[in-house]
């Protein structure tokens, strides 16, 4: 594209070449290199079809490359606080939003990555795929086994995604907690379906111990007498008993 040609003319490495934004006048916007741009959109081919990371001939190398690219994107997210980005862009946190599709222009990537709602959409997508990869019970038959170091890296990426998601306004922690509940519910549903939909059953309630009325009454009266002696004293108690005010 145009930016790739400009990078070639300037003789810069894709890690050093900073993309031009559609809105150059926006102060405080993050700088996005061409390398980050390629990594960000390159992830989509695996996120749209994560089975490539499990069943293809290059599953292991694909998984390693995916983890490296995702780590780079998360590093970029962590380097720029979303609260600072909101303040720089002057965007209200409560505005309406809807993404019918992603626009992949190099001149839009900077604006997209600093949009809190766009960032939230991306992190939710990452979390869904990572949780799928981390749960071997969800993998189809003949899937490649994910080795321990790769699994540890996937779990580390998952934790980073949750942390970044909690930091996104508005109500980042509340949103993340709601998403956790949704994912737990989906996992329970999947496990129930895999078990061939067994009937739900509840353990019978244990029989409550029988309390003898007479025994309970004696305990209450004994406790009451202790309280009366403590607060009224023996003389005052005797006078109240004479007057019929105490039993």
pTM for this entry: 0.69
- Assess whether pLDDT exceeds 80 at residue 50: yes
215/136 same-domain check: no
CA dist 94 and 99 (Å) reads 16
Residue 180 and residue 113 share a domain? yes
Domain of 188, in residue numbers: 2-194
In a domain, 42, yes or no: yes
Kindly state whether residues 168 and 50 are assigned to the same domain.
yes
Mean pLDDT value across the chain: 77
DSSP 119-138: HHHHHHHHHHHHHHHH-GGG
Q: Could you give the number of structural domains in the chain?
A: 2
| pLDDT tens digits, one per residue of 118-140 | 899 999 999 999 999 999 888 88
Query: What local confidence, expressed as pLDDT, does residue 244 receive?
Result: 57
Instruction: Give the pLDDT of residue 45.
Output: 92
* Secondary structure element (H or E) that encloses residue 113, with its range: helix 109-113
Please check the confidence at residue 102 and state whether its pLDDT lies above 50: yes
Q: Is residue 49 part of a domain?
A: yes
Residue 153, pLDDT > 80, answer yes
Instruction: Tell me: do 135 and 53 sit in the same domain.
Output: yes
221 in any annotated domain: yes
Is the residue at 115 inside a domain? Answer: yes
Same domain flag for 59 and 148: yes
Q: Do the domain assignments include residue 204?
A: no
Same domain, 85 and 46: yes
Domain for residue 200, yes or no?
Answer: no
């Amino acid at each position: 594209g145009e930016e790739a040609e400009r990078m070639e003319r300037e003789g810069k490495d894709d890690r050093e070449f900073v993309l031009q934004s559609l809105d150059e006048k926006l102060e405080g916007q993050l700088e996005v290199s061409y390398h980050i741009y390629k990594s960000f959109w390159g992830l989509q081919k695996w996120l749209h079809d994560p089975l490539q990371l499990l069943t293809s001939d290059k599953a292991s190398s694909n998984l390693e490359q995916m983890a490296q690219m995702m780590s780079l994107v998360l590093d970029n997210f962590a380097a720029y606080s979303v609260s600072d980005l909101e303040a720089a862009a002057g965007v209200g946190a409560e505005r309406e939003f809807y993404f019918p599709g992603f626009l992949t222009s190099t001149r839009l990537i900077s604006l997209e990555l600093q949009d809190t709602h766009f960032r939230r959409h991306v992190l939710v997508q990452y979390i869904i795929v990572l949780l799928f990869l981390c749960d071997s019970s969800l993998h189809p038959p003949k899937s490649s086994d994910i080795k321990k170091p790769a699994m540890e890296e996937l779990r580390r990426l998952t934790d980073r995604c949750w942390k970044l998601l909690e930091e996104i306004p508005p109500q980042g922690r509340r949103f993340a907690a709601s998403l956790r509940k949704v994912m737990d519910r989906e996992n329970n549903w999947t496990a129930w379906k895999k078990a061939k939909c067994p009937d739900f059953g509840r353990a019978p309630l244990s029989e409550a111990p029988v309390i003898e009325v007479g025994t309970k009454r004696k305990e209450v009266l004994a406790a009451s007498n202790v309280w009366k002696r403590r607060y009224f004293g023996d003389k005052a108690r005797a006078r109240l008993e004479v007057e019929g005010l105490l039993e």
